[in-house]
């Protein structure tokens, strides 16, 4: 690639097949994010139906425990399919992961107890966890170097479309329940059934998507990982350069993942407490109160996703303008400050409508950096393994944070209507962003450089 191409708009450097790869990988990630958000929206209604008569505090706590299991499955899936992607091919394993999360999301429709619901969510997480590393490795190794950052950043920006689509699907299902088309209280089941639709994407993946040339070259030369599934990890740890990159990438990614899933994910719980008190003060009760609270939560979520799209776009631009390290320093600092302020000061729906878009932009903006930066840290023969390991290691830490948050929630919701425990636990956990800032001291700058090889 000539130096001149580095100064052209990234999308002008793509041919028809590049756009096809972008589309397939983006759809896999779109549906992955759709599934994640459908789960967040359906989690508590599902548990209320599966745990009849349980107090609100128990529902909130069990919901966080089920989320933790989903995250553990996510982490395990990322570790497994990352290594399998380096051995057997990115497109082949992408097919398997899409099928896996589609099937078990659909099976959640048939849940009869909270424990089988939790098992389905764990197995869905295994499939969900494999997608990111495979998708970004596929794009990174297919598009020209000058288009790589823009293409990978756009992959993450488009993930917000999946989240927003989930919110509109939820609104449609709620309307069908209100109209009596769907039995009231069963809407959550239909949300999970919608999550099975991505299985049809497999036909396009298997029929037309090719493995990237760098991986095919390694296959022809007999240089792909062999041995047990742990062999790629052993290879990463043996080499000092890849070992350092693995540690740096894992800490950077874990910082953002914990911030999003163990802090930001539960903003909706605080919103429901705050919004309920706000509308109760206006005299709303019963179904009218629930309608106002749910509507305000939905509005806040949609605005958060708009903020996330702008945040990811800005982060992608910043990566290209200043370099990856400066972009992460700005992103983590912003996320820590804004998240703490939002949890401290949010006291009404109007507060949420301008605060949560800022928090979404800061927290999710750094995820665009993961898509751009992680595949730039590892060689082709270990790229899927290294990327998946870094991105998914934080799921285990986030799961621990969810269990911790569940314990706090039992205290907070034991006196329902008091948001103090939700506020202070989230504000305290914002200290995690310091880890991401500090590790940048040892992080390599990859701006303007080709993908590394042995």
Write the pLDDT tens digit of every residue in 313-335. 999 999 999 999 999 999 999 99
Query: 379 pLDDT band (50/70/90 cuts)?
Result: very high
Long-range contacts for 345-348 (Cβ within 8 Å, ≥24 apart)? Answer: 346/270, 346/271, 346/274, 347/274, 347/278, 348/274, 348/275, 348/278
Answer whether residue 39 is part of any domain. Answer: yes
Q: Do 447 and 319 contact (CB within 8 A), yes or no?
A: yes
Answer whether residue 436 is part of any domain. Answer: yes
Query: What pLDDT is attached to residue 401?
Result: 63
Token pair, residue 268, equals 């909706």
Answer whether residue 454 is part of any domain. Answer: no
Query: What pLDDT is attached to residue 407?
Result: 60
Q: In whole angstroms, how far apart are CA 115 and each of 62, 66, 121, 185?
A: 10, 9, 10, 19
Answer whether residue 453 is part of any domain. Answer: no
Expressed as residue numbers, the domain containing 165 is 12-442
Token pair, residue 393, equals 């290691």
What distance separates the 2 farthest-apart alpha carbons in the chain? 73
Query: What is the domain count for the chain?
Result: 1
Who contacts 312 (Cβ-Cβ below 8 Å, separation ≥6)? 153, 156, 157, 160, 361, 364, 365, 367, 368
Q: Do 167 and 301 contact (CB within 8 A), yes or no?
A: yes
Answer whether residue 301 is part of any domain. Answer: yes
Helix axis angle, 231-238 relative to 383-414, nearest 10°? 100
Answer whether residue 6 is part of any domain. Answer: no
Answer whether residue 366 is part of any domain. Answer: yes
Q: What is the pTM of this model?
A: 0.86
Q: In b/e form, how buried is each residue of 379-410, taking b as 16+ CB within 10 angstroms?
A: bbbbbbbbbbbbbbbbbbbbbebbbebbebbb
CATH of the domain at 247: 1.20.1250.20
pLDDT in tens, 64-92: 789 888 988 988 999 999 999 999 999 99
Task: State the Cα–Cα distance between residues 129 and 338, nearest whole angstrom.
Answer: 28
């Amino acid at each position: 690639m000539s130096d001149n191409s580095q100064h052209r708009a990234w999308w002008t450097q793509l041919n028809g097949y590049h756009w096809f790869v972008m589309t397939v990988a983006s759809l896999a990630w779109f549906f992955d994010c759709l599934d994640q958000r459908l789960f967040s929206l359906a989690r508590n209604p599902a548990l209320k139906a599966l745990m009849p008569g349980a107090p609100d505090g128990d529902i909130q706590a069990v919901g966080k425990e089920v989320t933790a299991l989903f995250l553990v499955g996510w982490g395990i899936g990322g570790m497994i399919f990352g290594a399998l992607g380096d051995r057997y091919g990115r497109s082949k394993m992408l097919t398997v992961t899409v099928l896996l999360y589609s099937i078990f999301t659909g099976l959640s429709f048939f849940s009869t107890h909270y424990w089988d619901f939790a098992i389905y969510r764990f197995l869905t997480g295994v499939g969900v966890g494999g997608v990111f590393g495979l998708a970004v490795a596929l794009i990174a190794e297919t598009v020209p170097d000058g288009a790589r950052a823009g293409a990978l950043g756009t992959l993450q920006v488009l993930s917000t479309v999946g989240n927003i689509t989930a919110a509109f699907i939820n609104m449609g299902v709620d309307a069908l329940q209100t109209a009596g088309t769907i039995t009231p209280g069963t809407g959550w089941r239909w949300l999970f059934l919608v999550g099975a639709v991505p299985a049809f994407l497999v036909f396009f993946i298997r029929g037309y998507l090719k493995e990237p040339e760098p991986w095919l070259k390694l296959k022809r030369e007999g240089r792909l990982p062999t041995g047990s599934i742990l062999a790629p990890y052993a290879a990463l740890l043996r080499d000092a350069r890849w070992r350092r990159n693995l540690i740096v990438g894992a800490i950077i990614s874990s910082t953002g993942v914990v911030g999003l899933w163990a802090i930001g994910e539960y903003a909706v719980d605080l919103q429901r407490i705050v919004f309920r008190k706000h509308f109760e003060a206006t005299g709303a009760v019963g179904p009218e109160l629930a309608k106002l609270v749910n509507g305000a939560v939905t509005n806040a979520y949609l605005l958060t996703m708009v903020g996330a799209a702008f945040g990811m776009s800005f982060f992608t631009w910043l990566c290209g303008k200043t370099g990856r390290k400066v972009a992460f320093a700005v992103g983590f600092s912003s996320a820590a400050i804004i998240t703490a302020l939002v949890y401290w000061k949010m006291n009404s729906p109007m507060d949420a409508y301008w605060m949560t878009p800022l928090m979404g932009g800061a927290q999710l903006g750094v995820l665009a950096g993961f898509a751009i930066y992680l595949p730039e840290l590892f060689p082709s023969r270990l790229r899927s393994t290294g990327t998946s390991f870094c991105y998914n290691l934080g799921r285990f830490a986030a799961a621990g944070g969810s269990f911790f948050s569940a314990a706090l929630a039992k205290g907070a919701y034991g006196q329902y209507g008091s948001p103090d425990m939700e506020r202070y636990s989230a504000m305290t956990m914002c200290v995690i962003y310091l880890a991401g800032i500090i590790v940048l001291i040892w992080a390599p700058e990859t701006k303007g450089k080709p993908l590394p090889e042995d």
